[in-house]
């Protein structure tokens, strides 16, 4: 019998219930007991959805981030929260976001650094280490959840992050070698496994996704050593790797002294035969055969054709699962009653993916006839998508064919452009600006949703949005900023807003995916060839510019970010889709320029996260990604200043590619890492202008002027002051005006102080 199981379930809730429960608690509108009750209710609901599987993950639920949970489980709590009074959960939120609830604002600390989870759009809180870090087991919450599940009769399989991946994900605060902590860490894992054994747990899933990355010999050895130390009979360990191929780690993974191995058979299908040959015969092989990162239906027929012989060979040693945790896909397609029915028939969200898994399991165990009807329906949907006329647009294809390198080149060099731009823009030293959005107040959201529901007509909606733009301009006047933005009140989301105006995109209503903490994104579904029927942002931007003499930035989302933050088609290479996006957005850039906009910012917030996990594949990605940006941006005159913005970007390793984009100005995230990100600029003389973020917009804390001056002084050690801009880390949409005004006031004051000191 093939065994079915799941690696993780989305925890935010089909209606984002967890988000609202968290935010209520943080605002002081509910108690910690209310929050915990909602957590328990969601866990129960999620487990009940999965009862058709042979093993259900437990421990995948989290109030903020599962890596932060792991830090707390292992007693690795930063010193800065240790002596603050309050509950563990309050401290947990302090590490996550700088503070717990509004009432406990007395105890704000600096929030833990946040970074991308492998190549996904999920962000985790980076574990902090020093040479003195000691670990201790704090498993009561984890064990309580196991008991909760078992009381409900759930076939419980606890899930934890493995010790080597845990160390690898973290950061040493004092340059200690993280691997030197492994001998201290392993006994804690051992203690946890013993507790699980006492609980009568049969299998535990230990995630080691670093097995799909290029590991140095030390890290490879650490994986071997860790599992030697953890080798036990009970519970049985399933080591899970996902997001890519094992490649040179294949032998290592197959040889671990554990009871089973899970691999990503979507990305790593080519390796499966080799793994079957290498894996000792007493071990379980779990194949992740359903894509946990995308929303297309699985081709069940093709999957079975491939799996059936494997099942005959492995028999009960074969487990099947989604490729990775379903954290990265929305919960339930059935919620989508407004989605175009044709496109909807091509899709599967988390619950539908689990249904597919169950069908596959039944087909393997009881024969295809036992699920005949489901298989026929699936084949027909797959076939229809394949042949649909909605997917291909010959005009778009012809335009992409016409592309040549000249489209991506500016006329003048940066120096020539900078001189012309300076003459036109007349900006001071240390020019101040923001990244685009201003607070998205409840009224703004209300206006947008009324418009969407048809309760406001176009004229009334426009008038209200213009009032918001006026407010933003007025606030920027009062603050004395140098380069303005219109505030992006009309945008629900930086990708969806553009996707909605482009052909080739479809939208879900409830297709939320957790990005970090309570924040979710609703990635659009890019199903067909992309084109721009008409201008998208020109009217708002022109209006905003008409209110001020200061330069108003036109704000666009770049092609690579559109691609990386959408669920994209799997029927053509990503590069081909990206070039189509580039041409569509290039049209908008040129229209803005024609409308008299002197600065255009093209956000590439997600450029870095599209990097393949393996370095050997970076070059190819960067080549087409940078070229797509250049095609979008570089058709403008020398006088037009192009900005780009990137969040969470570490630049050290891709600085050449960033420079190749040839934007006149880049603004980047830096404040949480104390300008460490700027190390890249020490060795490499970045040729253009840079705005390192000086205000951490992911935390409610307000930076004071002295702190900002200090950050900028640090930056000025690496970048000539004449090329520095002063700006927040990212857009301000998630903050309130009460936070934004004093923070920006301090920021402007810091810029002024530096000008007069120079």
Residues recognised as catalytic: 698
Please, how many CA atoms are within 13 Å of residue 30, restricted to the half-sphere of its CB? 15
Nearer to ligand GLN, 127 or 487 (CB): 487
Least distance in Å: CB of 751 to ligand GLN? 19
Please, how many CA atoms are within 13 Å of residue 485, restricted to the half-sphere of its CB? 24
Please identify, among the stretches 262-270, 310-318, 705-713, 729-737, the one whose residues bind ligand GLN according to the rule CB under 6 A: 729-737
Report the residue from 107, 605, 716, 748 that binds ligand GLN according to the rule CB under 6 A.
Answer: 605
Query: Is the separation of the CB atoms in 682 and 742 below 8 Å?
Result: no
Please identify, among the stretches 86-94, 523-531, 702-710, 727-735, the one whose residues bind ligand GLN according to the rule CB under 6 A: 727-735
User: What is the C-alpha separation between 607 and 604, in angstroms, rounded?
Assistant: 5
Regarding 611 and contact with Zn ion (CB under 5 A), the answer is no
User: What is the C-alpha separation between 349 and 366, in angstroms, rounded?
Assistant: 25
Residue 126, token pair as written in the block: 């980076």
User: What is the C-alpha separation between 137 and 356, in angstroms, rounded?
Assistant: 38
Regarding 730 and contact with Zn ion (CB under 5 A), the answer is yes
Nearer to ligand GLN, 385 or 645 (CB): 645
Least distance in Å: CB of 210 to Zn ion? 27
Task: With CB under 5 A as the rule, give the number of residues binding Zn ion.
Answer: 3
User: What is the C-alpha separation between 298 and 56, in angstroms, rounded?
Assistant: 21
User: What is the C-alpha separation between 435 and 727, in angstroms, rounded?
Assistant: 7
Which residue number has the CB closest to ligand GLN?
731
Q: What are phi and psi of 56, to 5 degrees?
A: -115, 130
> In what side-by-side order are the strands of the sheet with 567-568?
503-506, 525-531, 567-568
Residue 630 interacts with, from ligand GLN, Zn ion, none (CB under 5-8 Å by kind): none
Least distance in Å: CB of 655 to Zn ion? 18
Nearer to ligand GLN, 114 or 730 (CB): 730
Residue 631, token pair as written in the block: 């095609």
Regarding 472 and contact with ligand GLN (CB under 6 A), the answer is no
Nearer to ligand GLN, 328 or 733 (CB): 733
Regarding 494 and contact with ligand GLN (CB under 6 A), the answer is yes
Please identify, among the stretches 53-61, 74-82, 419-427, 600-608, the one whose residues bind Zn ion according to the rule CB under 5 A: 600-608
Nearer to Zn ion, 508 or 667 (CB): 667
Nearer to ligand GLN, 53 or 521 (CB): 521
Residue 733 interacts with, from ligand GLN, Zn ion, none (CB under 5-8 Å by kind): ligand GLN
Residue 165, token pair as written in the block: 């991946």
Query: Is the separation of the CB atoms in 537 and 403 below 8 Å?
Result: no
Least distance in Å: CB of 728 to Zn ion? 9
Give the footprint of ligand GLN on residues 551-590 (CB under 6 A): 555
Query: Alpha carbon of 731 to those of 33, 467, 744: distances in Å?
Result: 33, 20, 12
Residue 295, token pair as written in the block: 């929303």
Query: Alpha carbon of 617 to those of 70, 251, 605, 611: distances in Å?
Result: 31, 21, 20, 8
Regarding 437 and contact with ligand GLN (CB under 6 A), the answer is yes
Q: Which of 141, 135, 153, 137 lies closest to 59, judged by CA?
A: 141
Give the footprint of Zn ion on residues 619-648 (CB under 5 A): 647
Regarding 436 and contact with ligand GLN (CB under 6 A), the answer is yes
The angle that helices 32-49 and 140-151 make with each other, rounded to 10 degrees, is 50
Report the residue from 207, 299, 603, 609 that binds ligand GLN according to the rule CB under 6 A.
Answer: 603
Q: Which of 653, 657, 658 lies closest to 680, judged by CA?
A: 653
Regarding 435 and contact with ligand GLN (CB under 6 A), the answer is yes
- Say how far residue 590 (Cα) sits from the centre of its chain: 30
Report the residue from 97, 178, 645, 718 that binds ligand GLN according to the rule CB under 6 A.
Answer: 645
Report the residue from 733, 746, 749, 750 that binds ligand GLN according to the rule CB under 6 A.
Answer: 733
Residue 701 interacts with, from Zn ion, ligand GLN, none (CB under 5-8 Å by kind): none
Report the residue from 258, 647, 715, 750 that binds ligand GLN according to the rule CB under 6 A.
Answer: 647
Nearer to ligand GLN, 162 or 487 (CB): 487
The angle that helices 66-73 and 140-151 make with each other, rounded to 10 degrees, is 120
Regarding 730 and contact with ligand GLN (CB under 6 A), the answer is yes
Query: Is the separation of the CB atoms in 131 and 180 below 8 Å?
Result: yes
Query: Is the separation of the CB atoms in 739 and 698 below 8 Å?
Result: no
Which of helix, strand or coil describes residue 395? helix
Which of helix, strand or coil describes residue 235? coil
Nearer to ligand GLN, 8 or 731 (CB): 731
Q: Where are the alpha helices (DSSP H) in 426-484?
A: 442-452, 458-479
Nearer to Zn ion, 496 or 591 (CB): 496
Least distance in Å: CB of 493 to ligand GLN? 9
Query: Alpha carbon of 183 to those of 139, 228, 653: distances in Å?
Result: 19, 12, 30
Task: With CB under 6 A as the rule, give the number of residues binding ligand GLN.
Answer: 13
Apex 80 CA angle, 79 and 82, nearest 5: 60
Least distance in Å: CB of 546 to ligand GLN? 21
Nearer to Zn ion, 283 or 608 (CB): 608
Report the residue from 320, 731, 743, 748 that binds ligand GLN according to the rule CB under 6 A.
Answer: 731
Residue 555 interacts with, from ligand GLN, Zn ion, none (CB under 5-8 Å by kind): ligand GLN
Non-local (6+) Cβ contacts of 674 within 8 A are 711, 714
Query: Is the separation of the CB atoms in 654 and 618 below 8 Å?
Result: yes
Residue 90 interacts with, from ligand GLN, Zn ion, none (CB under 5-8 Å by kind): none
Least distance in Å: CB of 654 to Zn ion? 16
Least distance in Å: CB of 472 to ligand GLN? 12
For ligand GLN, the binding residues (CB under 6 A) are: 435-437, 488, 494, 555, 603, 605, 645, 647, 730-731, 733
Residues forming contacts to Zn ion in the complex (CB under 5 A) are: 605, 647, 730
């Amino acid at each position: 019998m093939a065994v079915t199981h799941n690696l993780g379930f989305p925890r935010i809730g089909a209606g984002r219930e967890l988000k609202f429960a968290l935010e209520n608690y943080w605002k002081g509108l509910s108690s910690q007991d209310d929050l915990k009750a909602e957590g328990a209710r969601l866990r129960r609901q999620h487990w009940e959805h999965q009862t058709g599987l042979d093993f259900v993950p437990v421990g995948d639920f989290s109030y903020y981030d599962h890596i932060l949970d792991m830090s707390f489980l292992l007693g690795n709590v930063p010193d800065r929260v240790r002596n603050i009074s309050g509950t563990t959960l309050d401290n947990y939120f302090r590490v996550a976001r700088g503070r717990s609830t509004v009432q406990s604002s007395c105890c704000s600390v600096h929030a833990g650094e946040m970074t991308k989870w492998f190549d996904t759009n999920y962000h985790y809180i980076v574990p902090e280490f020093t040479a003195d870090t000691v670990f201790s087991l704090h498993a009561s919450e984890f064990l309580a959840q196991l008991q909760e599940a078992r009381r409900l009769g759930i076939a419980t399989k606890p899930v934890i992050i493995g010790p080597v991946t845990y160390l690898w994900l973290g950061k040493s605060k004092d340059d200690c070698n993280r691997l030197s902590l492994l001998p201290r860490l392993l006994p804690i894992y051992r203690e946890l496994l013993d507790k699980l054994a006492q609980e009568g747990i049969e299998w535990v899933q230990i995630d080691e996704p670093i097995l799909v990355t290029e590991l140095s010999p030390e890290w490879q050895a650490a994986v071997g050593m860790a599992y030697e130390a953890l080798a036990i009979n009970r519970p049985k360990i399933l080591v899970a790797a996902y997001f890519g191929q094992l490649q040179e780690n294949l032998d290592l993974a197959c040889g671990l002294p554990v009871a089973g191995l899970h691999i990503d058979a979507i990305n790593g299908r080519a390796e499966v035969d080799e793994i079957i040959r290498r894996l000792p015969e007493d071990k379980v092989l779990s194949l992740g055969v359903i894509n946990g990162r995308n929303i297309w239906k699985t081709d069940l027929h093709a999957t079975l054709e491939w799996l059936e012989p494997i099942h005959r060979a492995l028999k009960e040693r074969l487990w099947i699962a989604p490729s990775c945790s379903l954290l990265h896909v929305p919960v339930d397609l059935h919620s989508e009653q407004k989605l175009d029915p044709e496109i909807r028939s091509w899709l599967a969200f988390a619950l539908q993916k689990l249904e597919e898994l169950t069908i596959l399991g039944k087909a393997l165990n009881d024969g295809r006839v036992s699920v005949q009807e489901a298989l026929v329906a699936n084949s027909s949907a797959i076939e229809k998508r394949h042949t649909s006329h909605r997917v291909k647009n010959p005009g778009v294809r012809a335009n992409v064919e016409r592309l040549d390198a000249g489209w991506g080149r500016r006329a003048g060099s940066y120096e020539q452009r900078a001189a012309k731009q300076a003459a036109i823009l007349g900006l001071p030293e240390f020019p101040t600006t923001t990244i685009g959005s201003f607070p998205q107040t409840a009224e703004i959201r209300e206006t947008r949703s009324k418009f969407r529901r048809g309760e406001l007509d176009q004229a009334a909606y426009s008038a209200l949005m213009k009032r918001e733009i006026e407010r933003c301009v007025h606030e920027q006047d009062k603050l004395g900023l140098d380069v303005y933005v219109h505030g992006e009140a009309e945008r629900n989301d930086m990708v969806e807003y553009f996707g909605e105006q482009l052909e080739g995109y479809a939208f879900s209503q409830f297709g939320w995916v957790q990005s970090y903490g309570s924040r979710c994104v609703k990635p659009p579904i890019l199903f067909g060839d992309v084109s721009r029927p008409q201008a998208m942002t020109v009217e708002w931007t022109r209006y905003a510019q008409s209110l001020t003499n200061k330069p108003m930035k036109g704000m666009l989302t770049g092609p690579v970010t559109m691609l990386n933050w959408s669920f994209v088609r799997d029927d053509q290479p990503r590069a081909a889709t990206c070039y189509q996006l580039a041409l569509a957005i290039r049209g908008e850039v040129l229209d803005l320029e024609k409308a008299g906009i002197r600065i255009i910012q093209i956000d590439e917030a997600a450029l870095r996260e599209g990097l393949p996990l393996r370095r050997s594949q970076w070059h190819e990605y960067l080549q087409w990604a940078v070229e797509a940006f250049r095609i979008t941006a570089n058709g403008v005159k020398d006088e037009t200043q192009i900005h780009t913005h990137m969040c969470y970007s570490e630049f050290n390793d891709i600085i050449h590619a960033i420079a190749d984009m040839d934007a006149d100005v880049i603004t980047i995230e830096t404040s949480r890492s104390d300008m460490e990100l700027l190390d890249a600029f020490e060795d490499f003389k970045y040729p253009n202008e840079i705005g390192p973020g000086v205000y951490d917009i992911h935390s409610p804390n307000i930076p004071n002027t002295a702190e900002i001056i200090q950050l900028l002084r640090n930056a000025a050690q690496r970048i000539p002051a004449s090329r520095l801009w002063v700006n927040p880390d990212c857009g301000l949409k998630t903050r309130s005006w009460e936070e934004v005004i004093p923070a920006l006031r301090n920021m402007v004051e810091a810029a002024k102080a530096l000008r007069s000191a120079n």
